[in-house]
Structure 1
Amino acid sequence: MTEPIKNRYDFEIIFDVENGNPNGDPDAGNMPRIDQETGLGLVTDVCLKRKIRNYIEAAKEDTPGYRIYVKDHVPLERNNREAYKYLGVDEKKIKEAKKKDADIDLKIRDFMCENFYDIRAFGAVMTTFVNAKLNCGQVRGSVQLDFARSVEPILAQEIGISRVTVASEKEQEDGKHMMLGHKFIVPYGLYIAHGYISANLARKVTGFSEEDLALLWQAIINMFENDHSATRGTMAVRKLIVFKHESELGNAPAYQLFERIKVEKKEAEKPARAYSDYTVTVDDTDLPTGVTCIQMI
């Protein structure tokens, strides 16, 4: 792996959804997530990280150093066990191993960081709790995302759907000829999410590198391109605006940089139904000393 990054980054992702459900809430019948006080739409950080993981898994296909720790149908303890096997440690005798090698916990953690991209990026709690002895520690990731929030209140619509068949012979015998259902959509919504990348954590813990960073930008830009479905409608990343700091700890507060990005609707009284209904501007003049602005798209 290459050297850890040396610069702090703050970034803003602007993405939209058309006739789809960007992030259903299982506690509300899979309705699009909404801030109940403001009516603004929400997309969780977990949802966005899943899209990034899926892209990297598809792009790298288990290339050494770029495997994904949190993935479908793979028990976490199976991945945890790889570190123990690599270091020749019997998980049932971990206490004895620690007495012989005081750094064994760090070696296990470092193995996981080196082999799994999403641990380097997002961190992980690598204790399954099912098997307390199989513990690979806890890592705070270099890359953090917050919840995405829509620019305007969203109107979630419930759409009735039908299927011209039934599920069983019994239902057909009872005279049923179709199945009825429903799904929720947002006719249009423009969302903003903020992200933060710590060079300090990369150096001290995760080893998140320049190569990892380039892959992250690629994954964010394309995170919806291989994830299309009828449920999610049309989703696309419209803008990725990055503020690069000269130093490891940063040269300006993130909120001051994000305030330079303005998203405004062209016609205030007209419902937005496309990205072209908005104007996005970035004030990159007189940036704080040591900060540069890069518009990836």
Structure 2
Amino acid sequence: MTEQATRVHCDPEKKHDFVLLFDVADGNPNGDPDAGNLPRTDPETMEGLVTDVALKRKVRNFVAAVAGDEDYADRREALNIYVEHKGAALNAQHRKAYRAKGIATSEPSSEEINDQSLVEPFSRGLPEGFTLNEPTGESQRHRLTYSGELSTKDLTAALGAIGEQQGPAARKFAERVAKKAKKVDPTRKQIGDAREWMCQSFYDIRMFGAVMTTGINAGQVRGPLQLTFSRSVGPIIPQDLAITRVAVTREEEQDKKETEIGRKTLIPYGLYVGRGFFSPHLAKQTGVTAEDLNLFWDALVYMWDFDRSASRGTMSPRGLYVFTHEKKYGNAPVHELFERVNPSRREEVASPRKFSDFVVEINESDMPEGVTLTRVLG
């Protein structure tokens, strides 16, 4: 365990509540698809909003990026990401748990191929779920086996592929084999075993939780770490700007025009406040370690550099304040602790455009007994 991971704010057996400050300059921190991707706002106050999902995505991307470093070589298998940015479907992730724990999701079916003209087409390759077995024992016939694991949609696609590549007769035979397969409902213990494996293998499940009851049932996990929406300090001014592109989309318009008009949405500047909570009771259930917590705090500080884009402008962390309780159920009401971190716009500044246009007051006097404030950043 690293020295950093032994500090009080990295102890998974304690309750932690934290405040995160971050800002954006000339960018869109979180577009709203219901408003033409304009920055999210509270329509009554025009204060900016950034969803918890947007921040969790950045954390996931950071963990996925650093998991390959030598510093994490001994924990690499525990730092997989369940909700990948682009990658495996969720049911495919659940299937990994079932295979690792030896849990059957179906009873496979197979049939001897009496029509030898089908053997050659099947031997050219079959989609996932189907296997051509060589003759064994006294039988001199090949067998087609279906695992029974595919979803209805995936099975339909697999049969369609067989029809296109191996022909109608091959598809008809494969359909007959597939109908014989039976789904197997896992027991409560097996679902629990799969759930435990998922917690051990996926960082974001251990920390944020997940509903894994779709398709292949791997149970539900209530995550010990929860985030709120982040809200800007004061109103923001969403802007929709026209930009020109020195390239046209369609070839037929090449001789008619030299540029095309596009749109770009941003805010000149916004300072956002987010809040979060860590429960030691739930952390014990999911198996969160001190290293997991340390990695999370690192993510909140450094994840912004892994998520740069022209549309987001310049996003930077400006403060991370962690309140740690001695008692597992807390030593003070959380809202009172959060009120000790008070960012505000300087009175002489009419239109803030940088972080120094704000002042962040931290009240560390008369801290409730049993509560420790750690300034991770700021």
TM tier relative to shorter chain: over 0.9
**1:36-115 pair list within 5 angstroms:** 36-61=43-68, 63-71=76-84, 72-92=86-106, 95=184, 97-98=186-187, 102-115=188-201
Q: How far did 1:269 drift? A: 4.7
Could you tell me how far apart the structure 2 residues matched to 1:97 and 1:21 are?
A: 45
Deviations 1:70-106 (A, max 9, x none): 01122111111000001111112675652xxx52221
SS at match of 1:42: strand
Could you tell me how far apart the structure 2 residues matched to 1:97 and 1:231 are?
A: 46
Could you tell me how far apart the structure 2 residues matched to 1:161 and 1:22 are?
A: 19
Q: How far did 1:266 drift? A: 1.8
Q: Does 1:199 align with 2:280?
A: yes
Aligned to 2:213: 127
Could you tell me how far apart the structure 2 residues matched to 1:269 and 1:276 are?
A: 10
Could you tell me how far apart the structure 2 residues matched to 1:264 and 1:23 are?
A: 22
SS at match of 1:225: helix
Q: How far did 1:151 drift? A: 0.4
- The size of the alignment, in residue pairs, is 288
> Percent identity, aligned pairs only?
46
Tell me if the contact between 1:162 and 1:181 (Cα under 8 Å) persists in the aligned partners: yes
Q: 328, 343, 357: which one pairs with 1:248?
A: 328
Could you tell me how far apart the structure 1 residues matched to 2:240 and 2:293 are?
A: 39
1:39–1:86: structure 2 CA closer, same or farther, 3 Å change rule? same
Q: How far did 1:273 drift? A: 0.5
Q: Max radius of gyration: which structure?
A: 2
Structure 1 regions of 5+ residues with no counterpart?
none
Q: How far did 1:176 drift? A: 2.3
Q: How far did 1:272 drift? A: 0.5
Structure 1 stretches of 4+ with a deviation exceeding 4 A read: 1-4, 93-97
So what's the TM-score if we normalise by structure 1? Answer: 0.93
Q: Does 1:270 align with 2:356?
A: no
Deviations 1:103-139 (A, max 9, x none): 22211111000000000010011133xx3xx111111
Aligned to 2:117: none
1:165–1:96: structure 2 CA closer, same or farther, 3 Å change rule? closer
Q: Does 1:180 align with 2:264?
A: no
Aligned to 1:227: 307
Structure 2 regions of 5+ residues with no counterpart?
69-74, 108-182
Tell me if the contact between 1:4 and 1:202 (Cα under 8 Å) persists in the aligned partners: no
SS at match of 1:10: strand
Which shifted more, 7-16 or 104-113?
A: 104-113
Superposition CA RMSD, Å: 1.9
Tell me if the contact between 2:349 and 2:357 (Cα under 8 Å) persists in the aligned partners: no
So what's the TM-score if we normalise by structure 2? Answer: 0.73
Higher normalized helix content (fraction of residues):
2
Tell me if the contact between 2:320 and 2:376 (Cα under 8 Å) persists in the aligned partners: yes
Deviations 1:227-261 (A, max 9, x none): 11110000001000000111222111110100111
